[in-house]
């Protein structure tokens, strides 16, 4: 693939995609913020529009997942959850989403019915309304089944927006659950590998978990570790914040099934997408209380404190034998079309 053509890596959430956005998209957009809010230039999980005593959070997502139905979810559930989570990690209460559907001629109506019901169920878990949408049909063969595009809207009091760039030295790092579940389960299912234990996607709306943490207080930064996985998210948080991070490998929750599948597939679970997890920076004196609160929610039962913010320029992982290695941001997510 030549340098002037789009490849699959350009949509896979790592350095290649980041370079495309910064060099092609950002340079060609003239106005990128409203009322001094979080802007497109910030490349956070969403943008904000300050209005009086509040800030509106807005985000948008396109979904091209393959297959459309997978263990633990489908394109409807992932469309709703992914957009809700992008709003929620900004510290805003998700209020509503819009949903645009582009289908090819011949798409089964029963499948569409199932997808929309799944989207609605995910929204209902966190009291989010579906308030608008659009439907288009293209000629058969023009696309692979169905594509969905969702936009999310949320609200927070002014001054309570949470960024992905505000980690401080001494903060603890919390992961709300096991890593790699979504990408590894989807890849193993797509490629036809069988495992004794059922491996399912983690796709879920995370607002109830996040609200528990915000109610305790002390949350300094958050990010949704989707494309590019935890490795991409934690490196982006560290780089934007101008800090280093030291992680304890043994503290990072990864299911045995994911470890086994990862080894079989030759994939690092740190680098694959999660669709029901949050990475948080939390003040050290609040970390244990936040962790306990998160664990009371079903999507936070396996949460863990996995490291701390330090001075420096790298994300380091302390290995079980006492050594350290650098955890770099991936060039791209090794599992394509996972969201």
- pLDDT tens-digit profile of 254-312? 999 999 889 888 889 999 999 999 999 999 999 999 999 999 999 999 999 999 999 99
Q: What angle do CA 259, 276, 146 make, to 5 degrees?
A: 100
**Same fold across 45-157 and 172-326:** no
Rounded distance, CA 240 to CA 54, Å?
Answer: 25
For the chain, give the percent of residues with pLDDT over 90: 77
Report the DSSP beta bridge partners of residue 98.
132, 151
3-state secondary structure of 81: helix
- The answer to whether domain 172-326 has CATH 3.90.650.10 is yes
Rounded distance, CA 230 to CA 234, Å?
Answer: 6
Question: In the chain, where are the structural domains located?
Answer: 45-157, 172-326
Dump pLDDT digits (tens) for 144-161: 899 999 999 999 999 999
Q: Which CATH class is domain 45-157?
A: alpha beta
SS3 content of the chain, % helix, strand, coil (to 5): 35, 25, 40
- Concatenating the DSSP letter of every residue in 142-186 gives SSSSEEEEEEEEEEEETT----SS---TTPEEEESS-SSHHHHHH
Report the DSSP beta bridge partners of residue 55.
50, 156
Q: Which phi and psi angles does 246 have, rounded to 5°? A: -115, 115
C-alpha distances (whole Å) from 261 to each of 43, 78, 223, 337 are 32, 22, 25, 18
3-state secondary structure of 191: helix
Determine the pLDDT at residue 1: 43
Q: Which phi and psi angles does 209 have, rounded to 5°? A: -65, -50
Nearest to 82 by CA among 335, 227, 275, 337: 275
Ranking 128-142, 172-186, 187-201 by mean pLDDT, the lowest is 187-201
């Amino acid at each position: 693939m030549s340098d002037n053509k789009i490849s699959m890596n350009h949509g896979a959430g790592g350095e290649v995609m980041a370079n495309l956005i910064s060099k092609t998209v950002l340079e060609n957009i003239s106005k990128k913020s409203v009322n001094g809010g979080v802007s497109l230039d910030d490349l956070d999980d969403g943008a904000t529009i300050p209005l009086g005593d509040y800030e509106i959070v807005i985000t948008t997502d396109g979904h091209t997942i393959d297959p459309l139905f997978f263990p633990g979810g489908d394109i409807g559930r992932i469309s709703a959850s992914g957009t809700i989570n992008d709003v929620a990690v900004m510290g805003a209460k998700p209020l509503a989403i819009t949903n645009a559907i582009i289908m090819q001629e011949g798409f089964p109506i029963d499948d569409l019915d199932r997808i929309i019901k799944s989207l609605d169920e995910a929204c209902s878990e966190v009291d989010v309304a579906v308030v608008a949408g659009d439907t288009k049909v293209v000629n058969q063969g023009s696309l692979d089944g169905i594509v969905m595009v969702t936009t999310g809207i949320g609200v927070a009091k002014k001054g309570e927006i949470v960024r992905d760039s505000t980690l401080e030295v001494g903060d603890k790092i919390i992961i709300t659950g096991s890593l790699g579940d979504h990408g590894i389960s989807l890849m193993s299912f797509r490629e036809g590998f069988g495992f004794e234990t059922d491996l399912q996607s983690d796709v879920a709306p995370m607002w109830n978990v996040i609200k528990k943490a915000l109610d305790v207080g002390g949350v300094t930064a958050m990010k949704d570790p989707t494309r590019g996985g935890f490795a991409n998210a934690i490196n982006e948080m560290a780089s934007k914040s101008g800090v280093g991070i030291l992680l304890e490998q043994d503290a990072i929750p990864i299911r045995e099934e994911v470890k086994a599948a990862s080894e079989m597939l030759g994939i690092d679970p740190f680098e694959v997408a999660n669709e029901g997890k949050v990475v948080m920076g939390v003040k050290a004196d609040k970390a244990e209380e936040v962790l306990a609160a998160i664990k009371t929610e079903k999507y936070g039962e396996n949460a863990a404190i996995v490291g701390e913010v330090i001075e420096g320029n790298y994300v380091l992982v302390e290995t079980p034998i006492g050594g350290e290695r650098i955890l770099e941001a991936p060039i791209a997510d090794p599992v394509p079309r996972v969201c």
